[in-house]
Amino acid sequence: MEAARRNMRPALRKRFYKSASPGEGNRLLLDGKPVRTPARRVLAAPDPRIASALAAEWNAQGEAIDPATMPLTRLANAIIDAVADQPDAVRAEIEKYLHSDLVCYRADGPEGLIARQAQLWDRYLDWARDALGARFVLAQGVIHQAQPSGAVDAAAKAIPRDAWRLGAAASITTLTGSALITLALAAGRVTADEAWTAAHLDEDWNIEAWGRDEDAMLRRAGRRAEFDAAVLVLDCTA
């Protein structure tokens, strides 16, 4: 089984540079030369803090370059090569989550889980109502509950338009399963840790009941790294 896993892993490119650094225009430089995205566009950030973080990812690589350990670089490539060219499609993908948002679907038991969902999730519905004029309705269980079109339309107006913020929001929405959590985070109404905890409420409840699965926790750590990279972009482009 281990041999099979090794054979499934993509061959990693050998490190070919000595050092990475941010350059003029917040471009990423490897040994003084600009880096290009998979679509051959210049890899440049909108903020020097993002550029420095990109350089740190590249400097942290060992003898081989492992994209799995470079979530910010992957996000930057996606924003530059895809999000910037198709912002309307990306915004539409985020809007889809508003029709069946995580925080709108509540458990029918046990009482402890019901109470915890109310404690951590109600604030996002209250914020959407008060700040965005979007009144979402709750559902119990997994049966789909259609949301008022007016609520979806009102909340969708808060989806970022700037390509970098939009790309970060799309990543966070996918990772959390909630556009409302993402929009509240982008608006500065909750912290990154609060958003992450809210998004993983059900998972944490199951861990408390049944214990930790180490493989699952490793995957969760990878998702957290992607989440933190997207949060950095939001923080630096606010």
Render pLDDT for 71-89 as a digit per residue (tens, 0 to 9): 999 999 999 999 999 999 9
Element (H, E) at 30: strand 28-30
Confidence check: pLDDT of 8 > 60: no
For the segment(s) 2-83, the CATH number from 3.40.50.300, 3.40.50.1220, 3.30.2180.10, 3.30.470.20 is 3.30.2180.10
Confidence (pLDDT) at 142: 82
Q: Which residue, among 96, 126, 121, has the nearest Cα to 107 in the 3D structure?
A: 121
Predicted TM-score (pTM) of the model is 0.94
Full strand arrangement of the beta sheet holding 28-30 = 20-22, 28-30, 33-34
Pair of tokens at residue 21: 């650094």
Confidence (pLDDT) at 2: 52
For the segment(s) 87-236, the CATH number from 3.40.190.10, 3.40.50.150, 3.40.190.170, 1.10.3580.10 is 1.10.3580.10
Render pLDDT for 98-129 as a digit per residue (tens, 0 to 9): 999 999 999 999 999 999 999 999 999 999 99
Q: What is the CA radius of gyration of the chain?
A: 20
Q: Which residue, among 168, 175, 2, has the nearest Cα to 75 in the 3D structure?
A: 168
Q: For residue 21, give Cα distances in angstroms to 35, 109, 143, 233.
A: 10, 52, 51, 18
- The phi and psi torsions of 42 (rounded to 5 degrees) equal -65, 130
CB 28 within 8 A of CB 45: yes
Confidence (pLDDT) at 100: 96
Confidence check: pLDDT of 1 > 50: no
Boundaries of every domain in the chain: 2-83, 87-236
